[in-house]
């Protein structure tokens, strides 16, 4: 009798999972064919699920996703082995369990975050257009970012090795960034109102070999940060993952929203982090398109900023050519392309175009 009841429960769960799978597929198709529907879904259902999950997982001071990454496979393996030992293992039920897992993962990913990949472009939600950028406009924007960076450097302390020092504890960084996001949310209603601390990854030193500085996990709605990187990278990565948490899916868009959130925080250090991170993106893009302009910019850069860049380079030497980074980049590139961005990891560089277009629409940009 007990076996029949357990079997009935399994079949019922599978049917519920199949219904949720069908519902999620319908939602995804509607989002793909209608950006208005996708935008509305991101601001309502998806935003609510991210808020709910991040509130629940926010109770834990550690990354629940990091724990589950190791705990779930082990638990499942032990469970299946126990069934085999007790001679209660049934292949059909095993396939049903796998099906339920796939249904659950599909439902959570698409409804919590996947639909955000097909919402309206960030610039449309912010009320400006992204146009083709000329070399002179790129140089003008880069010089503006450089000038603001050098102004903020006056309010930041630097260590003997050249790296800037973060004056804030982890909790304070989260609070200041949340304040910055709150100010943005008042102006831009498409940003979800979520105030949950980012999680520090315990295995950060090992994660650095993958060159990944942070990751948003939709299944727990946690913004996870690699804290082994230099402090300014950690601060910006925290803002970047918090942007994902608020429904910004594209990497270029998350970088730009992180930039704005750091500036909106009204904190001297975070403003420095914002301009330094954006200046890095500009230098990388200019190096690829105009090497002469690149060296002109570099030669005219404040020594404190060059010291920061040198300190980062020294830190990164240990991890630069790791095999793990090549594998991770391939996986990340494939994931981004699967989500609809044909440029893959190259899309990170589009933040420069986004920022330049934004600056060109600002009245105080000169």
Among 103, 118, 133, the domain boundary falls at 118
Helix axes 135-153, 291-299, angle to 10 degrees: 20
pLDDT at 88 (0 to 100): 83
210 shares its domain with 303: yes
| 274 & 319 share domain | yes
Asked whether residue 311 falls in the same domain as residue 232, the answer is yes
- Do 146 and 273 sit in the same domain of this protein? yes
Same-domain pairing of 166 and 239: yes
| Range with the largest mean pLDDT of 8-12, 65-69, 346-350 | 65-69
d(CA 124, CA 129): 7
Give yes or no: residues 107 and 159 share one domain: no
CA 298 to chain centre: 28
Question: Do the domain assignments include residue 80?
Answer: no
> For the residues 21-40, what does the mean pLDDT come to?
96
pLDDT at 32 over 70: yes
Same domain membership, residue 322 and residue 204: yes
pLDDT single digits (tens) 214-270: 999 999 999 999 999 999 999 999 999 999 999 999 999 999 999 999 999 999 999
Domain range for 233: 124-360
Confidence of residue 2 (pLDDT cuts 50, 70, 90): very low
Got the DSSP string for 264-333?
Answer: HTT-HHHHHHHHHHHHHHHHHHHHHH-HHHHHHHHHTS-HHHHHHHHHHHHHHTTTTT-HHHHHHHHHHH
Residue 140 counted as domain residue? yes
Question: Do 113 and 128 have their domain in common?
Answer: no
> Which of 74, 101, 118 represents a domain boundary (last residue)?
118
Q: Count up the domains in the chain and report the number.
A: 2
If asked whether residues 114 and 237 sit together in one domain, one would say: no
Both 228 and 133 in one domain: the answer is: yes
Token duo for residue 24:
């999620």
Question: Is 85 contained in some domain?
Answer: no
């Amino acid at each position: 009798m007990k076996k029949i009841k357990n079997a009935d429960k399994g079949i019922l769960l599978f049917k519920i999972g199949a219904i949720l799978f069908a519902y999620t597929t319908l939602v995804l198709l509607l989002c793909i064919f209608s950006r208005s529907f996708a935008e509305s879904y991101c601001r309502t259902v998806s935003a609510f699920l991210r808020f709910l999950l991040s509130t629940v997982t926010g109770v834990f001071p550690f990354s629940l996703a990091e724990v589950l990454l190791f705990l779930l496979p082990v638990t499942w393996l032990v469970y299946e082995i126990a069934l085999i030992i007790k001679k209660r293992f049934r292949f059909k039920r095993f396939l049903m369990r796998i099906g339920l897992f796939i249904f659950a993962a599909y439902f959570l990913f698409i409804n919590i975050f996947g639909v955000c990949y097909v919402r309206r472009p960030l610039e449309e939600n912010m009320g400006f257009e992204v146009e083709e950028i000329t070399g002179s406009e790129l140089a003008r924007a880069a010089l503006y970012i450089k000038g603001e960076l050098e102004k903020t450097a006056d309010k930041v302390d630097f260590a003997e090795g050249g790296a800037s020092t973060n004056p804030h504890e982890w909790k304070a960084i989260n609070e200041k960034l949340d304040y910055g996001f709150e100010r943005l949310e008042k102006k831009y209603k498409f940003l979800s109102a979520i105030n949950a601390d980012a999680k520090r990854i315990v295995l950060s030193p090992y994660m650095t070999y993958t060159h990944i500085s942070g990751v948003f996990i939709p299944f727990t709605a946690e913004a996870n940060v690699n804290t082994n990187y230099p402090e300014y990278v950690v601060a910006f990565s925290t803002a970047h993952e918090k942007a994902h948490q608020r429904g910004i899916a594209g990497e270029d868009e998350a970088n730009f929203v992180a930039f704005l959130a750091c500036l909106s925080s009204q904190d001297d250090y975070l403003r420095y982090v914002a301009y330094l991170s954006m200046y890095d993106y500009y230098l990388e893009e200019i190096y690829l398109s105009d090497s002469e302009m690149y060296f002109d910019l570099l030669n005219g850069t404040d020594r404190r900023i060059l010291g920061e860049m040198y300190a980062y380079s020294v830190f990164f030497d240990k991890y630069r050519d790791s095999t793990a980074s090549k594998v991770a980049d391939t996986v990340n590139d494939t994931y981004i392309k699967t989500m609809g961005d044909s440029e893959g990891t190259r899309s990170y560089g589009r933040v420069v175009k986004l920022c330049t277009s934004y600056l060109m629409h600002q009245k105080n940009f000169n």
